[in-house]
Amino acid sequence: MFQNRVKLKFSFLLVGEAALSLNRLSMESDLMFRKNTAIVMVTLFLLTTAISAQANQERFVLISHAPDSDSWWNTIKNAVKEASTTMQVQVDYRNPSTGDLADMARIIEQAIASNPDGIIVSIADFDVLKKPLKKAQKKGIPVITINSGTAKQSKKLGALLHVGQEEYDAGYGAGIKAKSSGVKQFLCVNHYITNPASIERCQGYADAIGATLTKSMIDSSQDPSSIEKKVQAYLRRNPETNGILTLGPTSAHPTIRALSKVKNADNIHFSTFDFSDEIAAAIDNSVIAFAIDQQPYLQGYMPVVMLSLYVRYGIYPSNNMKAGPAYITLKNVNSVRSLAGTVR
């Protein structure tokens, strides 16, 4: 009994250290951002080592808005798998196969009906998802929100906290970097326009460079060949365009191919959200200037750890966790390349 008390006190001390480390995360510098992230991960490793023997095989459900074709979420899946092994919990991953948000709402209701110990969910559309997520709150099921949505929306839903990036701020930061490279007119290739977070990304970029979003954004759909054709057509109609923003691998990959077929592509500043092997190769070849990294590994790993701590001991960090934005450029692309790709 005395040894268990010592372990528990040690766990609480480590949790305090982890919370302080989380609060120090800064977006002012990529180097400092990643350094602080490393501190958090080391602290959590010590914590989980101390408490893993007390695991009770809790079951959590992670529900994302991503369609099956969205490879970016593979990094989150890998992180969830590793965190569930470390914490000795079960985590079920569920998603709408086509990205339909009404289907996502139904999946959330099904998850709640199964009475899990906790739910991790992306706020793809607050208005669509607030009703089913309020049911989780009424049933006393703890929720952590990730990725899409804002900290304010997360709080309104009664979630413990939000792990992700502010989408408008991320877009604005990308726009500031593009403006410094001379971008005045841009194209936002929006492949999931039904998600309000996507428009926030484009709007932030537009505001940063002083452009009008309605003239600068296309609903590209998610079909690769359609995206490629729409990008080419837009650039032919708007030859003054000297900047492109894509919102993830789904739209980035076809845009890379489109640029290989248009004139003056070298004069277009190309940036994208998120990361993949193909995006890494485009950065290597100076086709893409930078990728906006919201550190999906943290978005997958940290919520599993936090829910485990909350369910077992009633403790969790007092603040939301900003996972981004950070920027992947030619200087640091190799350091993050290994985290992207297929599900391990």
Same domain, 268 and 190: yes
Same domain, 26 and 157: yes
Give the angle 332-292-38 at the CA atoms, nearest 5°.
55
Domain of 198 in residue numbering reads as: 167-293
pLDDT at 343: 65
User: How many whole angstroms separate alpha carbon 103 and alpha carbon 221?
Assistant: 18
pLDDT at 76: 95
The mean pLDDT of 179-207, rounded to a whole number, is 95
Query: What are the angstrom distances between the C-alpha of 276 and each of 23, 293, 337?
Result: 28, 11, 8
Same domain, 60 and 193: no
Q: 137 or 7: whose pLDDT is higher? A: 137
Give the angle 190-276-299 at the CA atoms, nearest 5°.
85
Domain assignment present for 343? no
Same domain, 113 and 212: no
Domain assignment present for 13? yes
Residue that has been written with the tokens 């939301």 in this structure? 320
Q: 25 or 88: whose pLDDT is higher? A: 88
Same domain, 190 and 247: yes
Mean pLDDT of the chain: 86
CATH number, residue 114 = 3.40.50.2300
Domain assignment present for 101? yes
User: Based on the structure, what is the number of domains in the chain?
Assistant: 2
pLDDT at 56: 60
* Tens digit of each residue's pLDDT (9 = 90 or more) over 252-274: 999 999 999 998 899 999 999 99
Same domain, 157 and 306: yes
Domain assignment present for 174? yes
Domain assignment present for 136? yes
Domain assignment present for 182? yes
Same domain, 172 and 199: yes
